[in-house]
Structure 1
Amino acid sequence: MIMQYRKDKNGNEISVLGYGCMRFTKEGGHADIDKAEKEVMAAIDAGVNYLDTAYVYAGNEAAVGEILARNHCRERIYLATKLPHYLIKSVEGAQKMFEEELRRLQTDYIDYYLMHMLTDLPTWEKLKKLGMEDWIREKKASGEIRNIGFSYHGRSDMFMQLIDAYDWDFCQIQYNYMDEHSQAGVEGLRYAHARGIPVIIMEPLRGGRLVNLLPESAKELFAQDEEHRTPAELALKWLYDQPEVTCVLSGMNSMEMVEQNVRTASEYGVGCMTESDRALVEAVRQEITKHVKVGCTGCGYCMPCPRGVDIPGTFRCYNAMYSEGKKSGRRDYLQCTAFRKNPASASQCVGCGKCEQHCPQHIEIRRELKAAAGELETVKYKFMKTAIGVLKLW
């Protein structure tokens, strides 16, 4: 298998498969670094050369830095991380965070640096007033930042305004066959490409929903497929077919995922989609649309909830009720909310709205949590939650 590469704005060759580091396997609340090391190094040895992390991904920058240091392979890869601009109030604040990221990552430069979740032009204008343009210019001149970009969750029209607002080196968008016409969408993808701006793809499998949480009717389509295509293979193939796509990030957390995704990235490229592929994508898309209750990708930007609600977990179970069966969804919900040291039930929501300010999918979280609680928190659930609470007191 030979990894395929596509060039960025400056002629760098980036592997079409990138490693999204947000979803490392956790152990005791922290990244299982030994397991992650095996998976990351297997990917790098197979030709993956783009690793993506972020300041706000708990423990991930430090884990990535440790893995690269252990294996002396910093120069073999392009490293991407992100500035949480929404947490800073000055250039000095940005500098402090940037220095912390360098320490975590055990490096003295970042290849691809992103304004994290930059979703509208007024926010960029505000950052300019703080002096961020001069700060970026200085960092690029010193070589501490090699390429500057932004990650985006918002409407296509605002995305295009942001593309034109600055001389970006690259950008990152959520894009998959279910989001072809939402967020930046195919229109934004092509707009950026036409202006020579490389596009990095995140959420190609919608947080795994296009694989693990497919409705039974969609799973049956794959089970009956004479060409034996897998859900992940088809979703990634759909992306690699498009010349505007530079790199597709996958949050791989098993050796099997690494091996499968490397194989797909090696086999498929521009023009690879057949009429049969397109027909299957459309059929699966229709089945998913019939069953999805909440369009949550599980990114976790809505967290932490001031009242302790596990928002992504609730929506995952809520969707599972309709894609995998009510019994399965409710059982999972009991386990992920009531069996915790601190309960995380949807009914704990007090409607403060903090979560909605940060949701990339613009979900009406408060309304959906209320609906989810109504279906997930049955009489049996309430009884079990109370019983578990009593046991904790003993």
Structure 2
Amino acid sequence: MLYRKMPKNADELSILGFGAMRLPVKEDGSIDEEKATQMVRHSIDSGVNYVDTAWPYHMGESEPFLARALADGYREKVKLATKLPQWMVKTPEDMDRFLNAQLEKLNTDHIDYYLIHSLVKSSWETSSDLGILDFLDRAKADGRIINAGFSYHGAPEDFAPIVDAYDWDFCQIQYNFLDTNVQAGTAGLEYAASKGLGVVIMEPLRGGSLADPVPEEVLDIWNEADVKRSPVAWALRWVWNHPEVTVVLSGMSEPAHVEENLRIADEGHANSLTEKELGLVSRVAEKYGELMKINCTGCRYCMPCPAGVDIPACFDVYNNLHMFGGGDRLKMMYAAKMGGILRGAETNFASQCIQCGKCLDECPQHILIQDMLEKVAEEFEGPDLEERIAFAKKLFADDSC
């Protein structure tokens, strides 16, 4: 495992961090605790020493799970990060209430890296008015948190003012080879680093969309490389190639993901990709831009939907259609998934969106979700939907018993 230093405290952090947002789950949606615990502990045994979670992950169960997974001495081996759910904070007292609850949920007396979660300009202004900076000073002074930071999902122009507003230790931004000009982007990465902040990266694989399956047009470009790498390796190596990056979080959901990421991390040196290889990545980014229709990472901040629509699942099948083809198969899968035939728990179809707008306030990517759901409905629904539902029930009868 390779390590990089946090600029302000000289912590030696593994370049690969374990993100506890996409843990393996059982059929009922609950965390597969046995598998997830093995994954977390194997990662730590292999050198990972940064573990990231948050209040809402896995519907509030990620933090308590990690408390159990980090028992038996594992808590002492890692720097633990979690986040204040600022959108739930209504009074200054709420900040202490949430932090104290998180300390209890995580069964620890301190948070090594504590972030204000998912800031944009408006939520930063609200948090500031409520005294968030005084809260951070107090929590650092009394030892409940060691390092203070924030995660960011706002517009590019609003990032630097937040960096300049406080003596932050670190920040967390979305960054991958498709998002160089999205949210903080490359300019934000370089600005934060120039101010002495450590930078933790989220969504290096864009919610898995840069991993398998990969469109044939993209694979054709990757195959031109002199040194053959998997799409995951290209994506992670590209992020680690930036010396400003301290830690890259990976939301691993299978043991195979852990093994692959550990192997790739062994070669994640800064400035290690050649100009020719960087040019190849740029061409891949251009191709994805042509193919991808909806800028969704599958973070599920928009969920639960009041109308019962599984928004990320709708967007995933829509993007897959435009990147990989297979319309008839995907329409069948849409009917089976949204109709609850595969999962045993029904979620409504895209056309059943009630236009309430709740999801618009929650989406870090600022997707026009209502408009996009209409496009999904146009593509996957229609007069033959009921026929496909009926056929899917027969086709997947054994799976739905």
Normalising by structure 2, report the TM-score: 0.92
The 1:125–1:225 alpha-carbon spacing in structure 2 relative to 1, beyond 3 Å, is closer
Q: AA paired with 1:63? A: F
With 301-310 and 224-233 compared, the bigger mean Cα shift is at: 224-233
Return the alpha-carbon distance in structure 2 between the equivalents of residues 345 and 26 of structure 1: 23
Number of the residue aligned with 2:249:
249
Structure 1 counterpart of 2:377, one-letter code: A
TM alignment of 1:81-96, pairs within 5 A? 81-96=82-97
State how far apart, in whole Å, the 2-side matches of 1:136 and 1:343 are.
Answer: 40
What are the equivalent positions in structure 2 for 1:330-369 lying under 5 Å apart? Answer: 330-339=331-340, 340-369=344-373
Residues 285-324 of structure 1 correspond to what in structure 2 (within 5 A)?
285-324=285-324
**SS of the residue 2:119 aligns to:** coil
Q: Kindly provide the amino acid, as one letter, of the partner of residue 12 in structure 1.
A: D
Gaps of 5+ in 2: none
Contact 1:118 1:151 in 2 (8 A): yes
Does the aligned pair in 2 maintain the 1:4–1:265 contact within 8 Å?
Answer: no
Amino acid at match of 1:3: L
Residue 389 of structure 1: how far off its partner (Å): 9.3
Query: 1:92-171 counterparts in 2 under 5 A?
Result: 92-120=93-121, 122-171=122-171
Over aligned residues, Cα RMSD in angstroms?
2.0
- Identify the residue that residue 37 of structure 1 maps to in structure 2: 37
1:382 alignment partner, SS class = helix
Whether the 8 Å contact between 1:214 and 1:288 is mirrored in structure 2 is no
Distance 2:129 2:193 in 1: 28
Give, as a single letter, the amino acid of the residue that structure 2 aligns with 1:255.
P
Give the Å deviation of 1:334: 1.9
Answering whether residue 17 of structure 2 is matched by residue 18 of structure 1, we say yes
1:333 maps to amino acid: Y
Unaligned runs of 5+ in 1: none
How far off is 1:46 after superposition?
Answer: 1.2
Quick one: which amino acid aligns to residue 6 of structure 1?
Answer: K
| 3-state SS of paired residue (1:187) | helix
Matched, 1:375 2:374: no
Counterparts of 1:127 and 1:138, CA distance in 2:
15
Which letter maps to 2:22? R
Cα deviation, 1:91-148, whole Å, max 9, x if unaligned, reads 222222222211221111100111111111x433332332322222111011110011
Question: 1:346-375 CA deviation, whole Å, 9 max, x = no partner?
Answer: 011021111011111111111010011100
| Number of corresponding residues | 389
Q: Counterpart of 1:22 in 2: which secondary structure?
A: coil
Residue aligning to 1:261: 261
In structure 2, distance between residues paired with 1:153 and 1:124: 11
- Kindly provide the amino acid, as one letter, of the partner of residue 321 in structure 1: L
SS at match of 1:117: strand
Q: Is the 8 A contact 2:120 2:158 kept in 1?
A: yes
Residues 148-180 of structure 1, C-alpha deviations (whole Å, 9 max, x = no match): 111001112100111111111110000000001
| SS at 1:147 equivalent | strand
- The structural deviation recorded for 1:387 is 7.7
Contact residue 321 and residue 328 of structure 1 kept, 8 A: no
In terms of mean alpha carbon deviation, does 146-155 or 379-388 score higher? 379-388
